[in-house]
Structure 1
Amino acid sequence: MKLLCSGSAGFIGSSLVERLILEGNDVVSYDLRPSPMGESIIGDITDPDAFRVAVDGCEAVYHLAAAADLNWCS
């Protein structure tokens, strides 16, 4: 199964990607940093066009990405 995991460079995301690959899935990692496992797409979740391209052809999405810099909340 082809899956996309956003936030794949984070603690939970990297563990999930590893597990999904071990289970025989084709995993596309989507994050600002590359993943050491599987196919990586460097992208920002705030860019809907780039995310739409990354999701194309995937059967499911694990969305684990989040805004980590909360300085914009004032």
Structure 2
Amino acid sequence: MQLVLRQQQGAATVVYCAVAPELQGLGGMYFNNCFRCLPSPQAEDKAAAASLWELSDRLVLDRPTGLQAL
């Protein structure tokens, strides 16, 4: 029973953001425990974002061509 409650609590913010009428058409916001919050300074670091994008792109392009999606 406790596992089910933790799963529900863990999904609550995602479900709220997906179905809340007051958020319809909005995006680019951060939520925690169903409340909007400010992003961390790390989340707003443009250089870190560019570096992460380049790494992600390289990892996707370098994967074996025979690899199937899981």
Which is richer in strand? 1
TM-score over 0.5 (shorter chain): no
Question: Relative CO higher for 1 or 2, CA cutoff 8 Å, sep ≥ 6?
Answer: 1
Greater helix fraction, Structure 1 or Structure 2? 2
Provide TM-score, normalisation by structure 1. Answer: 0.22
TM-score, length-normalised on structure 2?
A: 0.23
Q: Which has the larger radius of gyration?
A: 2
